[in-house]
Chains A and B, each alone.
Chain A
């Protein structure tokens, strides 16, 4: 209590209230006119100078609980005071933050009410952050004091923290985006403008069906997503069946393959497709030579995108399907066989119906991924416009129409959220998993030949194709000019990753080093934060019961369904102006990664925590350990493999992400992926490909390291064999 009060007071009296121009970690402010320079001054000093008078209620809120502690009220009354103060403090900070911006009042109504305001303010900084945390703590202590969640301050505080960050970094930007979609360029709210923009022919036109002109982007996206969803599901099923029901011991190879899309930057497949099928691609040339045809640009557009997305997303569908296919208890199939069903009948009447929910799930995942994919359509799209790329061009292109981008983003969001909703509502309840967790013996029935043979064929072709694609990527980096001049060279690597020596020691003179180091730094910052937030949320969801838990879960999983482009657009709309000025900083990149990847951390945490017996926590509690100690001494050590997995996953995802990143990078903080995209747009394929191969190799190393660490530490039940390693 006192600790937090002092945090609040430090925030108010000592730390600079507003955000600093030079970023969070520079300490220049300490020497440059602190504490009286108004740019750097803590709020307390601002007030004594008669500046920013709207901050004056805050110290009252901070000190009020202390006063009420002195008068010995009952616990309930003191809790009520804390709740009131917490709510009032947070509300006041939010209101002044939103109400007063760079140009004085943000809303005209306020100006009319209070008269014009000369003063202005910048985004909130460290001081504000500390004070905000203090109010949040007051609020959760108060709520806990009233008996919520057995009066556990740590749990209530954790819930409060997660709700606060999710609100600020997911809901607030989305709401900002929605509001900018219903405003015209002068900032006047108007639904007609929105309707006009939303229903324009460019989105929803059906020209392609009536023959002739092109269809609207929305239809393009939808058609592509359905097609890709359907095909990836089919391929995923084929691979899952080959892995489990063919009698082949290839399961491990196929599982290793599922790592590929995680470590591959999303547009790299598109690049490889261009190397193969583009105008000067190898296959195109070969075919043209043999059949004496004119090479065409057929691959740019729908065919190219579909091929690239199939390569990218099939492993995800496989991952879903193999879980479902293995979840069908062999006993079911054996039962069918003892009832004299043939292999084909067993497959048709037992296996297939049981995996139906898995099929739907895989389809929806493929659908969402395809909708959200940005890299492949950007590289391969040609004239086939989809929503995600249109959003990008609305912002960075000549139009620079943020309202338009917002409207497009809303259309995209509607599609993915409906798919997400359907997946949760409809499939969430249907589980045909027949394994009980008790030792189920028996072997999976081998598939009938007429299913198996086509499966083999498809799997073989796909595998060969994937191998070729990745081969191309590695090889392409050493080729002078693909298709025109096929001599081998180290030129691209030297341009990008040249290292020289000068008087200061090693000199990284390659053009890619900057973005490479930035990427590593940002990914390494984001990964532990993502893992922490994800696991904390998972723990709250699995182990704690509180009112509104379902809404809480939905909120935290929501960002899973929000495409990266939408996140990107909403972040630049929301965090470009006070109260939170983040654009152009590294922080906004870190934050976007945290909230993009958090759902994965949550899922991983939930999965691994569900396997820990709840009585372990309870045993610790009855032995006198607090919730916090139980969390740190029992839960966290037992979840080491999950923590490691979440860490590596969020690190790798941060390195390969492009869709949100491309809106958020700045000259100072450029990321590897956006650098590569820039090369591609300049038709500088050599460097792009060389850089991509480097990324893939780096991430492969990271993933391999993780595998090694996890295996060495032993997972969950393996504690017994591996105790010497502890």
Chain B
């Protein structure tokens, strides 16, 4: 690969108490502060309408903040329009100019920025090569497949060697198989060039696979920031627990806290966890479907359950189990053979349960 030939000027991005309002009623982004390190791929993840795209567009300069400050590298860009920011963006619809050839599309930014003709050609060609589209320069965007168009959009943004590269749901128009491949390509290019990338998606699987860190947003503010594993294993609240992977949520009780270790009970199950900030009293507990064990009836440290529904899913079995704390969704080994109506015991794996903010 020719990856090393394209230099990177990757810079960090910082939001300080950024708020964006439309009119007086709608607050799209509410007092958000975040820091994206140089050379890092950070995903903005959240349900539609959570403010993630607005956040991305504010980095690009396509939306202006209502209050707060945005810094890229060492420069305060809060008041700079998109034209004057050293940021490039790959759009959901790709936004390839239909009246220009692939080469002209990729070279557009270079020409606009008044580079020499030879430089333009060399860099545009290198960009196309980087995304594996060498020799496609004379075609029109409409003559390419969706995946290829996507790559052209990436190349067009890359050749400017921007301080920050932005992706707005870049995979949403591709079919499932292509999606996996393109996201790996994007990740390879990003790590290879050491780019700072901010990536918006609503697909939690995509976010987990591609990111250094994930910023989960909900209702115009940040719900949690962390590495994929942190978010999956230790979600802070119900929203994050439920949005990243599936989670069973239930009521529990912290019986005592000693030496930062809390003793928790859920129905008749007892377990110990680091207390963090939690204190004695009622608590919400989250646990992943794969970390619940279905045991024989009356097993130790298990609660009573009743199998409601059994689904064979190929790789694993899925069970719906009724318990005193509600219906639980359990994924277990494909060779397990519980049947509907069977009385069972339900237990938690040691690393399973997570305490949530109430």
Write the residues of chain A forming the contact surface with B, with a CB cutoff of 8 angstroms.
147, 150-152, 613, 615-616, 618-627, 629, 633-634, 637-638, 719-720, 723, 726
Contact = CB atoms under 8 A, between A and B. Distances in A.
Given A618-B62, A618-B82, A623 B93 contact: no
B78 to A, nearest CB: 11
Contact of B81 (A616, A619, A621, A623): A621
Contacts of A720: 140, 142-143
A624 B99 contact: no
Given A621-B83, A622-B89, A624-B83, A616 B112 contact: no
B156 A623 contact: yes
9 A-B pairs closest in CB distance = A623-B109, A619-B95, A615-B95, A720-B142, A621-B82, A615-B91, A622-B89, A150-B81, A625-B112
Given A622-B62, A634-B97, 15 more contacts: A152-B81, A619-B91, A619-B95, A619-B97, A619-B153, A619-B156, A621-B61, A622-B61, A622-B157, A623-B108, A623-B109, A623-B160, A625-B108, A720-B142, A720-B143
Contacts of B91: 615, 618-619
B84 to A, nearest CB: 8
A391 B148 CA distance: 64
Contacts of A726: 99
B113 interface: yes
Chain A contact residues, majority secondary structure: helix
Contacts of B95: 613, 615-616, 618-619
Nearest to A622: B89
A626 B142 CA distance: 26
B83 A626 contact: yes
Nearest to B105: A619
A625 B95 CA distance: 15
Contacts of B79: 147, 151
Contacts of B249: none
B195 interface: no
Interface string B123-144: 0000000000000000010110
Contacts of B96: 619
Given A152-B81, A613-B93, A637-B99, A622 B87 contact: yes
Contacts of B61: 150, 621-622
B18 interface: no
Given A152-B81, A618-B95, A638-B99, A624 B143 contact: no
Contact of B62 (A621, A626, A633): A621
Interface string B67-105: 000000000000101111101110111011111000000
Interface in B218-236: none
A429 B109 CA distance: 40
B198 interface: no
Contact of A615 (B64, B93, B160): B93
Contacts of B153: 619
A648 to B, nearest CB: 21
B113 A624 contact: yes
A559 to B, nearest CB: 30
Residue from B93, B98, B156, B166 with most neighbouring chain A CB atoms (10 Å): B98
Contacts of A613: 93, 95
A723 B112 contact: no
A676 to B, nearest CB: 43
Contacts of B83: 621, 624-627
Nearest to A634: B97
Interface residues of B, number: 33
Residue from B61, B83, B85, B140 with most neighbouring chain A CB atoms (10 Å): B83
Contact of A622 (B64, B82, B93, B97): B82
A610 to B, nearest CB: 15
A151 B143 CA distance: 38
B160 A719 contact: no
Contacts, number: 81
Contacts of B160: 623-624
26 contacts: A151-B81, A613-B93, A615-B91, A616-B95, A618-B89, A619-B91, A619-B96, A620-B97, A621-B61, A621-B62, A621-B81, A621-B83, A622-B87, A622-B157, A623-B88, A623-B157, A623-B160, A624-B84, A624-B109, A625-B109, A626-B83, A627-B83, A629-B112, A719-B99, A719-B140, A726-B99
B226 to A, nearest CB: 28
B207 interface: no
Contacts of A624: 83-84, 109, 112-113, 160
B60 interface: yes
Contact of B140 (A151, A620, A723): A723
A623 B87 CA distance: 8
B142 A622 contact: no
A719 B84 CA distance: 31
A151 to B, nearest CB: 6
A699 B14 CA distance: 61
Contacts of B82: 618, 621-622
A3 to B, nearest CB: 19
A629 B160 CA distance: 17
A151 B77 CA distance: 13
Given A615-B93, A616-B95, A623 B140 contact: no
A624 B156 CA distance: 12
B205 to A, nearest CB: 25
A622 B60 contact: yes
Interface in B101-125: 108-109, 112-113
Contacts of B157: 622-623
Nearest to B57: A618
A38 B195 CA distance: 68
Residue from B81, B82, B87 with most neighbouring chain A CB atoms (10 Å): B82
Nearest to A720: B142
Contacts of A627: 83
A719 B109 contact: no
A131 to B, nearest CB: 30
Contacts of A625: 83, 108-109, 112
B64 A150 contact: yes
A615 B89 CA distance: 10
A150 B62 CA distance: 9
A150 to B, nearest CB: 4
B143 A619 contact: no
B161 to A, nearest CB: 12
Contacts of A150: 61, 64, 81
A719 B141 CA distance: 10
Contact of B88 (A147, A622, A637, A719): A622
A36 to B, nearest CB: 46
B20 to A, nearest CB: 13
B92 A615 contact: yes
Contact of A719 (B81, B92, B93, B142): B142
B97 A616 contact: yes
Nearest to A621: B82
Nearest to A640: B99
A619 B113 CA distance: 14
B293 to A, nearest CB: 46
Nearest to B139: A723
Contacts of B81: 150-152, 621
Contacts of A615: 91-93, 95
Contacts of A638: 97-99
A611 to B, nearest CB: 11
A619 B95 CA distance: 6
B69 to A, nearest CB: 15
Contacts of A629: 112
A347 B140 CA distance: 45
Interface string B30-41: 000000000000
A583 B143 CA distance: 55
A618 B91 CA distance: 9
A673 B108 CA distance: 48
A663 B173 CA distance: 58
Residue from A625, A627, A629 with most neighbouring chain B CB atoms (10 Å): A625
A720 B82 CA distance: 30
A141 to B, nearest CB: 15
Residue from A624, A637, A720 with most neighbouring chain B CB atoms (10 Å): A624
